[in-house]
């Protein structure tokens, strides 16, 4: 049950604020950032989402040595 909850939480957060997330785009646009700062901030958020996803995958043994 905990595994499903973690997977669901990661999926929900990725959908809302992750890559191409609508909320992330609206929040960043509200700060009226310069183009370079906007892109860098978006890339940093993407990296954080990907890192958290990787941790979940590794903790739940979704990635084994066969994949890398």
Domain ranges of the chain: 2-67
Position 6 scores a pLDDT of 65
Spell out the per-residue pLDDT of the chain, length 68, in tens. Answer: 566 666 677 777 766 665 567 777 888 899 999 999 998 998 898 888 889 888 888 888 887 777 66
Reduced to 3 states, what is the DSSP secondary structure of residue 48?
helix
Please provide the distance, in angstroms rounded to a whole number, between the alpha carbons at the two ends of the chain: 28
Report how far residue 22's alpha carbon sits from residue 42's, in angstroms, rounded to the nearest whole number: 12
Residue 24 to residues 3, 18, 28, 39, 64, Cα–Cα distance (Å): 26, 7, 6, 12, 32
Q: Which DSSP state fits 65?
A: G
Report how far residue 68's alpha carbon sits from residue 28's, in angstroms, rounded to the nearest whole number: 35
Q: How much is the pTM? A: 0.61
Position 38 scores a pLDDT of 92
């Amino acid at each position: 049950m905990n595994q499903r909850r973690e997977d669901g939480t990661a999926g929900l957060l990725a959908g809302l604020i992750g890559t191409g997330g609508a909320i992330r785009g609206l929040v960043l646009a509200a700060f009226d950032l310069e183009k370079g700062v906007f892109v860098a901030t978006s890339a940093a958020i993407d990296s954080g989402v990907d890192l958290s996803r990787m941790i979940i995958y590794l903790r739940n043994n979704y990635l084994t040595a066969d994949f890398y």
